[in-house]
A and B are shown apart, each in its own frame.
Chain A
């Protein structure tokens, strides 16, 4: 076979290109001092772009890499607005980092966890080797976290598995401008009871009128107002809360609020519910007008400009606020209602406990991650006492691990241990349709011409159908989750896998709850 001149030229050109490429590769490979990076790479995708947090995480990474020179940890920070899309697309494409931050509030998070995240239940049942030499040595890793990993990001109640390792403890506090408080009251003592809080709010209004200054008691936004109202509303309804736990667990789950409503065990005209809304309206008077339309950054700006004495904020935002403020910021808990309160005391048992305050910023392990073992080991270090000491010192976040010291100014941020249940307000609103049905009508409660009746006249009609839709959706999702679990369970049984019966037990409890809910929905189909 004889090649044409054109073909010979083409082959010659290809040979030249190949030779050049080979020469380049050889040159790069044998360059003096050149060394291929053979370290195993673990990527960590997250949306913790808060001031100082990436540096804090990098400090932990630096220490980890010093201990493990064969591993390279790379942060992949993503803005929080883009993160849910980033998470989903990376997971579906199979290109996700080995470790990714979990957001329990993301749409379909349980589905994502079921499909793409590796359950770490077995891992967190074992002691963390990085806690050796600390007071936490030998303890089950899960128990070394302040919340025992019982938060919605670390633990999926639907899937009955642990998925995440948290970096900080959450919670809500009143932050106050100490200098401005001194101007208003002559001191820096914060109110300890609800009547004292109302008195401070009134004193602030009087001060603003007298001085002709724009100063409100609270920097108002939708979220910060709800942070303030939620525990107070819950206090007024504490006795009702325990009455609703008809399964004798002294606990009302997310599902139970809706189910007990459909069963007629509570309604919006109960005295304590009406009182709770009246209290929320009272607190609304001390927010900036129009607060319910404002977002957190509006409230932050108002507070930082000295236009309010207080702001109710998530403790994870404290670091940011302190970095930006030109005045001293101190923290205090939201004042408690007491049983002897002449207006609101009838349903009150006592302060709201924060003993189950949830940890936040949870990092999870991706199923089938190429560097799975290194990723697990890094999570162990990050979630150990030595790792958390490094992280906390840089981030100023409350540590998620027991026994990690914090600076004195952070002490009031620590969760209140004793007390009673306190999330009624947030949880009756449900998580789906009902949340919008209730939440979107609060302008009727807070508006000048509004009130408790104006709100209840609307939600009394719309809440039942909305909560029913939410529960029916939960049932459908649970059925799908059960279906998804089944082949995996069969495979585990067939392989005589450890933990099979534990998983079966979890599934049985989950399934019973789903079946009960389905039956109650059917039994109450005719109720409003």
Chain B
């Protein structure tokens, strides 16, 4: 029955257990979140007032670049893979992931990739400073830190592809008898679709950065106009990856909202089938809208119109999802524990980000919004307001199942409210800054922008400060606390709530039957 498990360091190095690996993903992700968060504080501190006070422009550019790379590739993506590792086997009634050894490997690539990226900051010439989009020709100019970044992207890409293969094979092969595809929990559905997005888009990014590497060192001219190349080609290839990437960050969050809201509304998810189709439609559309990130490069009229119309279309399936969540809440019997606060707050802030996204899709208006703080506000509303809020919700929702202990509800709610206030104080005024004409990625600004920048900086310090409450609550819950029941939540439905809390090391050694 019970196997011998190595203990101590060996347990974590050699583990093939989905729960251990899920835990490691989450610990890694939140460590990176702390690092990326500190970088955002450097940025916000410099922008507190006009003039250069704290850092040099070159270092400022490294901070904006590495902050973005760390938060996207180091925090949000691994954190959702961690959730997938913990939850997918439990939610589909499987004993573990389909490819446990590969699971170990896809995690253990990450710390090395993260270290490589951090090391770039200490190289001569510093880390990457051309923005996370690493557009050439600027990215051809950088020092060896840029090469470190390219290799980091390769490593992270390999890890993501391996993780995705594992998730797809687990979901397609290891579902309990009776669990047809259309009976799967929405979180599992979202991850199945996300995994396909990853497999289709990451190799494209790998191609783009490899071309960049050979342009930098091996005399090719893919992106050099003087050598017959095309700088705009990089942008097309990058965003062919980049736009699906946006949904890679947010689809699992949609899955989380679709788990939490029915539980606390004590009412089944509204429009399950339309949720599945909406998610698949968003995934499909994500591959034909990429050039809306680059309306100002001077595309032919037909291109500008095509990308404007296709981008606007995304509002339809996204709207369907939001309306479905609202209808799930409608005439339910709601309570507002911490996970529900995050889910409702997340739907609210994500909708703001979605609507500013709709505004950005309108090409002539985008000419004004493009590369301003309006864009910065927009993507923080979707990535923090959507993805990160869902992550916090998911952790409070499932933490009792993972640890067997209830968390401190009062502190959980305090963390939510402080983050919610701090987040909106940071990013809502940035909409106005962008509309008034403040470009993004500048270390200093003219006096007209000073007011809202002060608000934004104060909000950022409040937001990051509030996260220490989260770390404290999570740590205390892992260590001990009130015992959690099997069901944990009164309205919870799904296989993970049929096993003990904490869930046994191997969850379903005999498959449960799903009616």
Q: Do A and B bind each other?
A: no
